[in-house]
Amino acid sequence: MSTAKSVGKQVWVVKQNRFNQPVQQVKQWLQESKLGNILQFQMNAIWCRDAAYYAQDLWRGSADLDGGILYTQFSHFIDILLWLLGDMQALGGYRTNTQHQGVIAFEDQGLVQLQAQSGAIGSMQYSVNAVQRNAEGSLAIYGSKGMVKIGGQYLNTIDWAVIDGEELDYANTNTPNHQYGFYEGSMSHHDQVYDVVLAAWQGKPLSVLSNDDAVKTVALIEQIMQHIPLQ
């Protein structure tokens, strides 16, 4: 980022999950304090990345080139945590490799205890050990006035919501996710990312993409990996 600034260039990050309709709706509710004070949260990111996936390219599974599943699979989920709930730190957790020994150089599942600067406590459970398909990408948020769960495989539905004490019947829309042959990824919103970048080139304010936010995501992942040893 500093190099780009020194040579008069711009750096863009891709945060397509921020454009998921349920995520944007929950962001609005939080900005309007519809949930009250946030007390607790739970994120689950359970995907399928088997040995065949890692055998496709030499970089996959290596510590230096891949970096680990928190980077390659789940950095977008951590970005959503920080974007919705603010800065947070890891208090503890567990990382282990149970199904990919000899295949990857890092954990294939983990559990992290987290605390936001607001005081809210929560956890993130993550894994690439789901069988045959990605199982879940969800975030439940519990506040003093309401609660909501963003669910589906890719944070792409609202499973339930109680706002200001009232149960809401939220109408979910279908948006295709990325297909990569025999494995799948997050929702396909790159067209909206490009729209934001083009608008910024035209001098309009940058709305939801921030390099500083990307740095915060990397910092939290690094804290998790440095302070929670691989078992």
Q: What is the CATH number of the domain that holds 106?
A: 3.30.360.10
120 within a domain of the structure (yes/no) = yes
**Is pLDDT larger for residue 11 or for residue 143?**
143
**Is pLDDT larger for residue 100 or for residue 169?**
100
Look at residue 211 in the predicted model and tell me its pLDDT: 80
Look at residue 202 in the predicted model and tell me its pLDDT: 63
Look at residue 13 in the predicted model and tell me its pLDDT: 77
203 within a domain of the structure (yes/no) = no
**Is pLDDT larger for residue 94 or for residue 200?**
94
Look at residue 176 in the predicted model and tell me its pLDDT: 59
Tell me the average pLDDT across 27-43: 97
pLDDT in tens, 117-157: 999 999 999 999 999 999 999 999 999 999 999 999 999 99
196 within a domain of the structure (yes/no) = no
52 within a domain of the structure (yes/no) = yes
Looking at the structure of the chain, the number of domains it has is 1
**Which domain does 110 fall in, by range?**
21-184+212-227
Is the per-residue pLDDT at 187 higher than 90? no
Question: Could you write out the DSSP letters of every residue in the chain?
Answer: -HHHHHTT-------GGGG-HHHHHHHHHHHTTTT-SEEEEEEEEE-B--HHHHTS-TTTT-TTTT--HHHHTTHHHHHHHHHHH--EEEEEEEEE-SS-TTT-SS-SEEEEEEEETTS-EEEEEEESB-SSS--EEEEEEEESS-EEEEETTTT-EEEEEEETTEEE-------PEEE-SSSEEEE--HHHHHHHHHHHHTTPPP-S--HHHHHHHHHHHHHHHHHS-B-
7 within a domain of the structure (yes/no) = no
Q: How far apart are CA 197 and CA 60, in angstroms?
A: 29
When mean pLDDT is compared across 12-16, 65-69, 104-108, 207-211, the lowest value belongs to 207-211
Rounded to the nearest integer, the mean pLDDT of the chain is 89
